[in-house]
Amino acid sequence: MPKRGYHHGNLKQALVEAALGLISEKGPQGFTLSEAAKTAGVTPAAVYRHFAGREDLLAEVAQQGYAIFGDLMAFAYDDGKPSALKAFEATGRAYLAFARRHPGHYMAMFEAGLTLDAHPDLALTAARARAVLDRAATALCDQMPADRRPPATMFSAHIWALSHGVVELFARGQPGARSPFPPEDLLEAGIGIYLRGLGLLSPDG
């Protein structure tokens, strides 16, 4: 295997790409730092020029994932256009699209057991991504009477959990988890039921 890190002049990113392949194949806990080095075509000692250990490498993969995720969410939200409702629904679909297109990043973000407090840069990037969904939820909450308005962060957390559940159970081919409906339809219906419960959609809307 060619030494991609040296040939490309970016050993750090070569290791990230190697880790992404291994994560997709074996899961975030299923490979060693030595395997990542071998996949990147460098010696294990070379890894320590950039990462103190495997957790640091996973944190970098997760941080890059959150950056991509945040960009996709922001693009989907499109500054609340064409309406607060449509923009909010678009962020849910973006979550599902991200998990499908970037499985290695997704697993590093949510399945590697990383502690955000131990990785400040990762925590900051994750917060920026989450802020897009919070912003979308706030715009919808503002349309409700104050006495019926849930905290926007609770609102967004519910939709995050719903999106994550659909991804985990039905969009990633989990054994025993089957549905006669596409994941996109499940997510759209779930969001619709939630919004009707808050009075943001009419019963037949």
Residue 60 lies in a domain: yes
Are 119 and 169 contained in the same domain?
yes
Are 39 and 62 contained in the same domain?
no
Are 158 and 98 contained in the same domain?
yes
Rounded to two decimals, what is the model's pTM? 0.87
What local confidence, expressed as pLDDT, does residue 167 receive? Answer: 87
What local confidence, expressed as pLDDT, does residue 5 receive? Answer: 41
Q: Which of residues 35, 51, 67 is at a domain's end?
A: 51
What local confidence, expressed as pLDDT, does residue 161 receive? Answer: 92
CA–CA separation, 96 and 160 (whole Å): 11
SS3 133: helix
Are 69 and 13 contained in the same domain?
no
Can you tell me which residue has the tokens 């070569």? Answer: 14
Residue 203 lies in a domain: no
CA–CA separation, 140 and 19 (whole Å): 39
Residue 83 lies in a domain: yes
Query: For residue 56, what are the CA distances in angstroms to 15, 36, 69, 80, 151?
Result: 11, 13, 20, 36, 34
Are 24 and 71 contained in the same domain?
no
Give the pLDDT confidence of 60-76 residue by residue, as tens digits: 999 999 999 999 999 99
SS3 108: helix
Structurally, how many domains does the chain consist of? 2
